[in-house]
Amino acid sequence: MNSHERSVASHLVKNGTLVGFRQGETEVLTGPDEAEFMVRIELTLGPGETDEEMDEDPAELAEWAAFGFLFTLAYLSFADARPRGLSEPDFVEGDEFSIGDFLEGLRYERGRLRYSVDYLRGRRVKTDVEVRPNGTVELATRGRGKAPLRWLDRLKGKKLLEVIGSPRED
């Protein structure tokens, strides 16, 4: 990405992380085999469950936050995606998600802003995000395990645990 694209991406991520959200129904739907299940999560833009002010209108928030929220979820999905099967030769470790990548998957359908991607440069992304005019959001993934729950935790500011090394033997 050039410096202008980085600036735009930074602005979108800033907007995407400024808006809070409440997590609603989460469904895990079976697929053709155990590893291919789909996760669908309903969200509502606005203050989170622990925020004190609950009077922000989700529809008004969607007007200024939809693009940033979509971009941020798309960015997290891409960063977390890995190759599968025949896509491995196209996979480049450290590849960056770009504004162009985002625009290629972005659509406006039936009054809803939607981002959808299957594979992207060797990564098995399989993510769909839809922001509706009323400020509700649907996040759905296929064959990604429960990764979208980790992305939402990151957006909520939760620190994720990582294994740093093997346990010490004393």
* Alpha helices for the chain (secondary structure H): 3-18, 58-80, 99-105, 147-155
Q: What is the pLDDT of residues 6-35, one digit of tens each?
A: 999 999 999 999 999 999 999 988 877 766
Token digits of residue 142: 């296929």
Top-ranked range on mean pLDDT: pick from 50-59, 90-99, 120-129: 120-129
Higher local confidence (pLDDT), 126 or 166:
126
- Give CA–CA dist 115/99, Å, rounded: 12
Q: Exposure of 30 by Cβ count < 10 A (0-12 exposed, 13-18 middle, 19+ buried)?
A: exposed
**CA atoms of 56 and 9, how far apart (whole Å):** 26
Does the pLDDT at position 133 exceed 70?
Answer: yes
Cα dihedral across residues 74, 75, 80, 84: positive or negative: positive
Q: Are 151 and 76 in contact (CB under 8 A)?
A: yes
Give Cβ neighbours of residue 4 (< 8 Å, ≥ 6 apart): none
pLDDT above 90 for 108 = yes
In this predicted structure, what is the pLDDT of residue 170?
45
The domain limits of the chain are 3-155
81: tokens are 């995606």
pLDDT tens, residue by residue, 45-63: 998 665 555 578 999 999 9
CA-CA-CA-CA torsion for 165, 93, 8, 14, nearest 10 degrees? -20
Confidence of residue 162 (pLDDT cuts 50, 70, 90): low
